[in-house]
Amino acid sequence: MKRMPTWIAYAALGPVSGPLAAGVVRNWRKGERVLAAFYAVAMVEFFVLAPVALDHLASVAGLR
C-alpha cells in the first residue's frame, strides 16, 4: 500500500484549518518555532474568536 500523500491529511481538516495546521507542523519540524506559533495563534483565532465575534454581530444586528 502506498503512503498517503501529506496534503490529504491537511485537506481533511478543511480549506482554512488545513493549511494552518500544515504551517504549524512543517515550521515546527524545520525548527522555526516562532513561525509555528504564529500559525497556532491563527488557528486559535479561527476556531475560538471568529465564532464569538460572529455571534456578537448577529445579536447586535437582531438576527438572534
Query: According to the model, what pLDDT value does residue 13 have?
Result: 83
Of 26, 24, 19, the residue nearest 40 (C-alpha): 24
Q: Is residue 3 part of a domain?
A: no
User: Does 50 score more than 70 pLDDT?
Assistant: yes
Query: According to the model, what pLDDT value does residue 11 have?
Result: 80
Q: Is residue 22 part of a domain?
A: yes
* DSSP SS3 for 62: coil
Locus of grid cell 518555532? 33
Q: Is residue 20 part of a domain?
A: yes
Q: Is residue 2 part of a domain?
A: no
Q: Does the reported pTM lie above 0.95?
A: no
What range does the domain containing 22 cover? 9-60
* Total structural domains within the chain: 1
11-49 residue pLDDT tens: 888 888 888 999 999 999 999 999 999 999 999 988 889
Q: Is residue 1 part of a domain?
A: no
Q: Is residue 41 part of a domain?
A: yes
Q: Is residue 40 part of a domain?
A: yes
User: What CA dihedral angle connects 37, 40, 44 and 45, to 10 degrees?
Assistant: 70
